[in-house]
Amino acid sequence: MLKTTFKGKITAAIFGCEGLELSKAEVAFFAAKKPLGFILFKRNIDTPEQVKALVSALKAAAGHPHVLILIDQEGGRVQRLKAPHWPTYPAAATFGDVTESVFEHRELVRLGARLMAHDLAALGINVDCVPVLDVPQPNAHDIIGDRAYGDTAEAVATMGRAACEGLLAGGVLPVIKHIPGHGRALADSHHDLPVVKAKRDELDTTDFYPFAVNADMPLAMTAHVVYAAIDRRNPATTSKKVIKVIREDIGFDGLLMCDDLSMGALKGTFAHRTKSSLRAGCDVVLHCNGNMDEMQQVAAATPVLKGKALERAMSAVARLKHIVEPLDVNAARTRLSVALRRKVATVREDYEGYADPTVYQVG
């Protein structure tokens, strides 16, 4: 367990890094601060050998045995690992386009997630920022769109759990996002602060429902969204009122991280953003862009993991399987590609590559 096997102090932060390998300055910074984990982006990825080396260097720099290595590998327009070195996966919505059976839909979502876990675990990546549990609403911004597993709260809840199960079976932790729901947002929180004006009962029965169904998952990421029915001033990330709803009404008691502190929805200095997130009830802060000056500001305002936050981190690490569920990778990839081939060529032109069974023959 984290508490007993590591006697040093872990900073309650997850950081990005700048390139394909660590600079001397990054190694020194990460060694001094010992963050809980790191997150990888396109700028950090070239070949499997390079990614493995970078992951090893990050773990060594952090200096504790339970470093979380995160990535956004959703499928569709959000996947950091791409061809030719890795298989291409469909957007979450595509699974529902190829079958009318809720049972097969669930099977395919779980299978896709299990295969993603296989890809990630081979690189030493142990956390995938999946599933998106946001329920898209008419006229909302398309930042969620086909990243959602369906257009009803029930479908998103069911398929989101299937994705979580597939990842966990392959030794990778899922992150339910963007809690308590980004589906009604009229703006992209990467650039602006969305304000949702729906009534509380609407939020409970639609937006919050998938998160309540999946509240037993180990990790969650907040939404930089204002929910006026709960807190008219602050987005979930910095709102004590909203995080109280997440903890008490939705029932999530896992490790809660904020979405990226460098996103345009948040204002103020990085110290202010960091302190506001932690004071509101986030356990861990996330800073993604690898900018050293910004990371230093975040680190200076971030405490070490302790108390309930440390316990939640311990519980999350304990969910990592050391012996994963057996998987015939080639058979699984063929099964997935055959299913996707049914309608994918006519449903979304951008996804025609998913219909090629050879895509899924990568070991």
Q: Which residues are catalytic?
A: 190, 259
Beta-carbon count within 10 A of 197 CB: 12
For residue 255, report the phi and psi dihedrals to the nearest 5 degrees. -75, 120
Which H helix or E strand runs over 157?
A: helix 153-169
> In angstroms, rounded to a whole number, what is the distance separating the alpha carbons of residues 10 and 67?
10
β-strand pairing of 173-179 with 219-222: parallel
In the chain, beta strands by DSSP E: 11-15, 35-40, 68-71, 73-75, 78-79, 127-128, 173-179, 195-196, 219-222, 226-227, 255-257, 285-287
Q: Count CA atoms closer than 13 A to 33's CA, side-chain side.
A: 26
> In angstroms, rounded to a whole number, what is the distance separating the alpha carbons of residues 77 and 105?
20
Q: Give start and end residues of each alpha helix (H) in 170-304.
A: 200-202, 209-213, 240-244, 270-280, 292-300
Q: What is the helix, strand, coil percentage profile of the chain, to 5?
A: 45, 15, 40
The CA-based dihedral angle spanning residues 124, 12, 160, 107, taken in that order and rounded to the nearest 10 degrees: 20
